[in-house]
Amino acid sequence: MSNTELKKIIAFDLDGTLAESKQELSNEMATLLYSLSLKTKVAIISGGSYRQFQKQIIPKLTEASQGKSLNNIFFLPTSGTCRYEYDEKIKDWREVYTHMFASSVKTRVINELNNILGKHKSDFEIPEKHYGTYIEDRGNQITLSAMGQEAPLGEKSTWDPTGKKRLRIKSDLEHVVPEVEANLGGTTSVDVLPKGFDKSFGLKITLEALKLSVKDILFVGDAVFKGGNDYSPSLIGIETIGVKNPTETALLISNLL
């Protein structure tokens, strides 16, 4: 693909696509993303909270830019329920949009997840050993990490490689709380959002804000299978490329450049 064929915006999932789960961007990936942002707009969308962007992305991107502008890069935490844009005045990202989760629905979701983790734990094959908290309330998204938020990548990757265990959790949760939808993220996570709000909706809101259409964007993710949290963009006509890991993404970006 030549530079003239670049879409007006290239969007990437984070964990499993740009970086390993909960890990910082590599120096190579940060440099590639910054180089891409000099040619087109770049969006990074993730089920993770903005805190994860601060840990995983911002330090490396800041280093790669060498103090130059990053205003062609957008952050879309919690599946795009909020958007952060770079502010030249403060030399940092600021929130410009947010969509909140109804508190009454959140309470029901958390109660049901606690049931799954408690009396139904064995039914859903939740490991006894865990690292950190299971449930994280990210304001506009609730995330269940079946082995805890701080589980080592090596152990996480072996628990549910096919996604079958988490699909059972998804099905049960959506049956009990029909106002939400749950999608698989990373290797052990289930991201819970208000029904109808997934990555496709988050990207669509961003496109509308930029006065662009679905034809103007390319999306890259590692969980593009049905039930995966990178699947929905393809359903609204966004061109989607599936990758297996950050190495494949780095090669893709190199080809785009």
Instruction: For 3-99+197-256, give the CATH class.
Output: alpha beta
Instruction: For 103-193, give the CATH class.
Output: alpha beta
Which whole number is the average pLDDT over 118-135?
Answer: 89
Token duo for residue 19: 């970086």
pTM value is 0.77
Amino acid at position 39, single letter: K
Mean predicted lDDT score pLDDT of the chain: 92
**CA–CA distance, 76 with 80 (Å, rounded to integer):** 4
At residue 153 the predicted structure's pLDDT band, cuts being 50, 70 and 90, is: confident
**How far from chain centre, in Å, is Cα 52?**
10
Domain with CATH 3.30.1240.20 in the chain: 103-193
Q: Are 237 and 111 in contact (CB under 8 A)?
A: no
Beta bridge partners of 10: 42, 218
Got the DSSP string for 87-138? Answer: ETTTTEEEEEEE-PPPHHHHHHHHHHHHHHHTTTTTTTT--S---S-SEEE-
Contacts of 223 (CB under 8 A, 6+ apart): 13, 16, 184, 185, 229, 230, 231
Domain with CATH 3.40.50.1000 in the chain: 3-99+197-256
Which whole number is the average pLDDT over 56-80?
Answer: 94
pLDDT the model gives residue 4: 44
